[in-house]
Amino acid sequence: MSRSSTNILDRPLGRPGGRAEGSVVSLSAFAYIYSELVQYHQQRAASISELERRLESAGYVVGLKVLEMIAYRAKETKRETRLMSILHFVSSSVWKSLFGKAADSLERSIDHADEYMIIDYEPIASTFVSVPPDLGQLSADAYVSGIVAGVLDGAGFSARVTAHSVQVEEGEYTKQGGNSIPGIPPRKDKAVFLVKFSPEVLSRDAALER
Amino acid sequence: MASSKAQAGQTLWAKMPKANAELFALTYGSLVTELVRDYEDPIEVNAQLERIGHSIGVRCVDELLSKADSSNLGSAVTQCGNLRDTAEVVSKVGFRMFLGIQAEVGGYSQDQRSFSIYLQENPLSTFVELPTIGDEQSSSSPSGGLDDLRKLKYSNLYCGVIRGALEMVNLKVECTIVRDTLKGDELNEIRVELKEVLSDGAGDDYKEE
């Protein structure tokens, strides 16, 4: 336990903080902190879109760090350069390391070639959130969309990422025993993270295709 | 007696749904960063963190009590006869159930009205480094700003949480972080001092906020 004397840069990154127990805290603890983060920004935001933008920028810096962390921990030193592989990286590696599971699906928009959707049926950030009617379109997962944007931007794929809560259609997603978190009912909304890549990212990817 | 509380804490922790500790730490980090950016003065940031913690504390005490109750852990957790019991519950049950960490309690004062909670590990401060202590002179420079950050009590949230939680059970306490691994101490120590035992219905006098 000579952690205090060791410089933070000398500590191993593999096992975060040297914590023995698989490095988890309770979901409640996360929810309390996240709730305070949202409240804090809500006090300072004049509109729903400003609140979302503030949450996104809070997530953005987290995303940059997460990318670095995952990249350092990965055994192979490789860097994703292709559009599809970075999207897979986000929806599997990033999701697994942050939320303990892969994203439920990754889809390409039919209408727009530059748009992709990452879908999560049980988004962690909005687990205990119920959006009041006067906040209407607010998605409490805006923070996560910020993280995604941070990861993508850090990897050289600048993109605009927005979070949307979309009602789950009947029979679309069924899981035995309802919610995977015991004690709360199945979720009515899924989170759709819409990723819209910048034109230069697409043209670069097209150039790599050849 | 003490071990039964540790047992209860372990039981509750095992039942809690979990979240990634790094996401937790980074989220708290982005909150602190935002506060530092908005308030600039670290003393004010400490106060804000305490206030935020308080708002968490008043809610998480309910979760603790109701979950202890529904897990049939009985009166060992939900009924405390004296401050020693309370201290044990805060550290052995509270910290364990929400953060999954071992917290030790000790350093009782002669009059039994204050105690310390010792944390070997601090999930809030993973990945965190504060500006180093040492050059006191430069802190008097008018610019203040970043090098003033060593006055920041990064984990001051805990103080607010403990104050808020105990306030809900009619104990008015004051907490301070006296040792902090981020400042080079070998462990984290939170000093809790009982100010007053509130009588039932004294809820009004906490309107100051």
Note the pLDDT tens digit of each residue in B33-62: 999 999 989 999 999 999 999 999 999 999
pLDDT of A105 over the 90 cut: yes
> Within a domain: residue A5?
no
pLDDT digits (tens, 9 = 90+) for A78-92: 788 899 999 999 999
Chain B positions in Cβ-Cβ contact with residue A3 (cut-off 8 Å): 181
Alpha helical stretches, state H, A19-178: 27-44, 48-73, 83-88, 95-99, 142-154
pLDDT digits (tens, 9 = 90+) for A54-64: 999 999 999 99
pLDDT of B65 over the 70 cut: yes
Mean pLDDT over B102-121 rounds to 93
The confidence score (pLDDT) of residue B147 equals: 58
Q: Sort A175 into a burial class: Cβ within 10 Å, 0-12 / 13-18 / 19+.
A: exposed
A82 to chain B, closest Cα gap in Å: 26
Q: Do B181 and A4 touch (CB under 8 A)?
A: yes
The confidence score (pLDDT) of residue A55 equals: 95
Q: Do A182 and B17 touch (CB under 8 A)?
A: yes
> Within a domain: residue A158?
yes
Chain B positions in Cβ-Cβ contact with residue A63 (cut-off 8 Å): none
No. of helices (H) and no. of strands (E), chain B: 7, 5
Whether complex ipTM tops 0.90: no
Q: Which of B17-31, B87-101, B136-150, B158-172 shows the lowest mean pLDDT across its residues?
A: B136-150
Mean pLDDT over B92-115 rounds to 93
The confidence score (pLDDT) of residue A18 equals: 44
Q: Which residue, among A200, A201, A210, has the nearest Cα to A81 in the 3D structure? A: A201
pLDDT of B77 over the 60 cut: yes
Mean pLDDT over B129-143 rounds to 55
The confidence score (pLDDT) of residue A131 equals: 83
Q: Sort A18 into a burial class: Cβ within 10 Å, 0-12 / 13-18 / 19+.
A: middle
> Within a domain: residue A1?
no
The confidence score (pLDDT) of residue B2 equals: 52
Q: Which of A14-18, A66-70, A94-98, B129-133 shows the lowest mean pLDDT across its residues?
A: A14-18
pLDDT digits (tens, 9 = 90+) for B165-184: 999 999 999 999 999 988 88
The DSSP call for residue A121 is S
- In chain B, the N- to C-terminal Cα span, in Å, equals 37
Confidence at B153, pLDDT banded by 50, 70, 90: very high
The confidence score (pLDDT) of residue A21 equals: 42
Share of chain B above pLDDT 70, in %: 87
Confidence at A44, pLDDT banded by 50, 70, 90: very high
A105 Cβ contact partners less than 8 Å away, ≥ 6 residues apart: A91, A117, A118, A119
Query: Distance between CA B151 and CA B177 in Å, rounded?
Result: 12
pLDDT of A97 over the 80 cut: yes
B18 to chain A, closest Cα gap in Å: 4
Q: Which residue, among A102, A105, A104, has the nearest Cα to A92 in the 3D structure? A: A102
- The count of domains in chain A is 1
pLDDT of B140 over the 60 cut: no
Domain interval for residue A167: 28-209
> Within a domain: residue A12?
no
pLDDT of A5 over the 60 cut: no
Share of chain B above pLDDT 90, in %: 63
Chain B positions in Cβ-Cβ contact with residue A59 (cut-off 8 Å): 30
- In chain A, the N- to C-terminal Cα span, in Å, equals 54
CATH number assigned to the domain comprising residue A131? 3.30.1380.20
The confidence score (pLDDT) of residue B14 equals: 93
Chain A positions in Cβ-Cβ contact with residue B13 (cut-off 8 Å): 26
> Within a domain: residue A22?
no
Asked: is B2-129+145-199 a CATH 3.40.50.10310 domain? The reply is: no
B52 to chain A, closest Cα gap in Å: 7
The confidence score (pLDDT) of residue B207 equals: 55
pLDDT of A20 over the 90 cut: no
Instruction: Please name the residue of chain B whose CA is at the shortest distance from the CA of residue A6.
Output: B184
Q: Do B23 and A98 touch (CB under 8 A)?
A: yes
